[in-house]
Chain A
Amino acid sequence: MEKNKINLDALATILAGKCGITKKEAQQFLSDFIYIIKIGVDADNLVKIKGLGTFKVIDVENRESVNINTGERVLIEGHQKLTFTPDSTMKELVNKPFSHFETVILKDGVDFPEEKESEEELAVEEELAVEEELAVEEELAVEEEPAVEEEPAVEEEPAVVDEQKDVDEVVGPSFLAEEPVAEEPVAEEPFAEVPVAEEPVAEEPVAEEPVAEVPIAEEPAEHHKKSYLPWLLVAVLACGVLFGVGYWLGSQKQVEPVVAEMPAETTTPVEATIPAEAPTPGETTDSVEPEAATAAEMATAEIEQTATETVQPVQTEQPKEQKPAVSAQQKEWQKYDAMDQRVRLGAYGIVGVKETISAKEGETLGRISRRILGPDMECYVEVLNGMKAADVLKAGQKVKIPQLELKKRLKKQQKES
């Protein structure tokens, strides 16, 4: 299709051919046509022509704009302008070449946001399947020798790790939070940096996991013999709990609470019997017992995706100790937010003091900030130290460098906790 411009003359020629009138008459008609439209627009601000469309004068409000050359703000005064809306028949006629296209509703999985969800579900299913197998293996193993028990445990971990990669933040962090804690409570840091640090942290426990599990696993041998099927069920359900609890505790960077939770969950089927021999700390056993007892009910509830109250008793003991730490951090950055507008509107929140350095003679706060945090981060340093970026420092003067965290992440943690 070549784009040509048809002028009044050419249009008149076509019209003349159609109506059987002379070209001159057609031209006259066209100019009259135009004249009447103009008159109508001037008089009524509106002209409707059937089959063509509507000409309408509308008001444009005052608005501010920016002069692209100088960057100055310019006020564009309100004015009126002419709009033309084609008639529906004309619209269709014009769009004829494309009329066979229809608006399509995009299905889930076509694009990112939806994909995340489906992936998550998939992972959950996968996990269930894994746990199920595991449970079977476990039972077999339990009857023979605890040594074998180690295997399923090891198997489980990598599986979870894999899933963490797929399942994103929501599930990932929760697992993370649980696992590292088992041995190194300091593992808070990696959790904060979730996606990057995920693997190393998650993998470490693999070696140690069994230690916690094995001894406990021995006991239930007798019970397993009695009831094989129920335990399988419990194992599957327990994994539901694991997920539920994981979600629930998501953001909380747990230390002790998780220790309690950890063995409880991974070995729930087994543990329900007696944690007498269990090498877990006293505190753990305490919480384990109620959990294991309620595990079955809880899990059922979890799987049905109804957050029932049965879940609460088990979990409530844990988060208690935890929350202060998280909320303290939360308050911290909100406090700084309140202190300075630039911090409030900035992308980062101040969560603490990273380091304290002593200034050299004649250095300014801004310069130190640029050196350590990069450009445009002065406001955080200013707020933390209560000084101005241009302030010249004395030799040896202490300057606090803020520990910054993306607000997006902080807010997420806040929500989850």
Chain B
Amino acid sequence: MNNKEFISNLALRTGLKAAKVQDMTNKMIDAMGECFEEGNDIQLVNFGTFELRKKMERVMVSPTNGQRMLVPPKLTLSFKPHPAWRDSIKNKGNE
């Protein structure tokens, strides 16, 4: 499901126009971005948690030219699905 499909599905679900939904989605993402900028996590019920993780700096060797590089520390966004949802995904393959 790409962005377009997602928006149209969401529009159907909410009964709003696609353009409006896209706008709201963008605003919501902005809002989430602001939260992340402040260093907060976002926990959504029945969905999961968006977490900020700090990755430490490390020395890496480039596989192509063998150069050693110092990779700086960085913050990354990770998402952990809600346990119930995760389990349902996990077991889906086994059915």
User: A residues bordering B, Cβ < 8 Å?
Assistant: 1-8, 11, 14-15, 18-19, 28-30, 32-44, 46-53, 55, 57, 59, 77-82, 84, 86, 90-91, 93-98, 101-106, 110-111, 114
The answer on a CB contact under 8 Å between A34 and B71 is no
Give the distance to chain B from A21, nearest Cβ to Cβ, in Å. 8
Query: Which residues on B sit within 8 Å (CB–CB) of A11?
Result: 28, 31-32, 35, 42, 44
Within 8 A of A (CB), among B1-33: 1-3, 5-6, 9-10, 13-14, 23-33
The answer on a CB contact under 8 Å between B75 and A79 is no
The answer on a CB contact under 8 Å between A98 and B72 is yes
The answer to whether A36 and B43 touch (CB under 8 A), given A49-B25, A51-B29, A98-B73, is no
Docked CA distance A30–B86 (Å): 20
Q: Contact partner of B81 among A14, A32, A82, A103, CB < 8 A? A: A82
The answer on a CB contact under 8 Å between A95 and B75 is yes
Docked CA distance A82–B85 (Å): 9
Closest to B9 in A: A36
Query: Which residues on B sit within 8 Å (CB–CB) of A49?
Result: 3, 6, 25, 29
User: B residues bordering A, Cβ < 8 Å?
Assistant: 1-3, 5-6, 9-10, 13-14, 23-47, 49, 52, 57, 59, 67-79, 81, 85-86, 89-94
The answer on a CB contact under 8 Å between B43 and A18 is no
Docked CA distance A93–B68 (Å): 27
The answer on a CB contact under 8 Å between B73 and A101 is yes
The answer on a CB contact under 8 Å between B47 and A38 is yes
The answer to whether A4 and B74 touch (CB under 8 A), given A49-B6, A94-B36, A105-B68, is no
Closest to A55 in B: B79
The answer on a CB contact under 8 Å between A98 and B35 is no
**Shortest Cβ-Cβ A-B pairs, 10 listed:** A101-B72, A84-B79, A1-B39, A40-B1, A106-B68, A80-B93, A50-B3, A86-B77, A14-B31, A51-B29
Docked CA distance A293–B15 (Å): 98
Q: Contact partner of A96 among B27, B37, B40, CB < 8 A? A: B37
How many Cβ-Cβ contacts under 8 Å join chain A to chain B? 176
Give the distance to chain B from A242, nearest Cβ to Cβ, in Å. 31
The answer on a CB contact under 8 Å between A6 and B43 is yes
Query: Which residues on A sit within 8 Å (CB–CB) of B33?
Result: 90, 93-94
Query: Which residues on A sit within 8 Å (CB–CB) of B31?
Result: 11, 14-15, 18
Q: Contact partner of B69 among A6, A15, A55, A104, CB < 8 A? A: A104
Query: Which residues on A sit within 8 Å (CB–CB) of B44?
Result: 7-8, 11, 30, 34
Docked CA distance A94–B37 (Å): 6
Known: A4-B38, A48-B3, A97-B75. 8 other contacts (CB 8 A): A5-B43, A6-B40, A6-B41, A11-B31, A30-B44, A78-B93, A94-B75, A98-B75
The answer to whether A41 and B89 touch (CB under 8 A), given A19-B24, A28-B14, is yes
10 contacts between A and B (CB under 8 A): A28-B14, A30-B28, A32-B14, A43-B1, A80-B90, A86-B76, A93-B37, A94-B33, A98-B75, A106-B68
Give the distance to chain B from A78, nearest Cβ to Cβ, in Å. 7
The answer to whether A4 and B73 touch (CB under 8 A), given A33-B10, A90-B29, A90-B33, is no
Closest to A79 in B: B90
Give the distance to chain B from A196, nearest Cβ to Cβ, in Å. 30
The answer on a CB contact under 8 Å between A80 and B36 is no
Query: Which residues on A sit within 8 Å (CB–CB) of B77?
Result: 53, 84, 86, 90-91, 94
Docked CA distance A35–B45 (Å): 11
The answer on a CB contact under 8 Å between A47 and B25 is no
Give the distance to chain B from A82, nearest Cβ to Cβ, in Å. 5
Q: Contact partner of B1 among A28, A47, A93, A96, CB < 8 A? A: A47
The answer to whether A2 and B39 touch (CB under 8 A), given A95-B76, A103-B71, is yes
Query: Which residues on A sit within 8 Å (CB–CB) of B59?
Result: 106, 111
The answer on a CB contact under 8 Å between A32 and B30 is no
The answer to whether A36 and B6 touch (CB under 8 A), given A4-B40, A44-B1, A82-B89, is yes
Closest to A33 in B: B10
The answer to whether A80 and B89 touch (CB under 8 A), given A5-B40, A18-B30, A19-B24, is yes
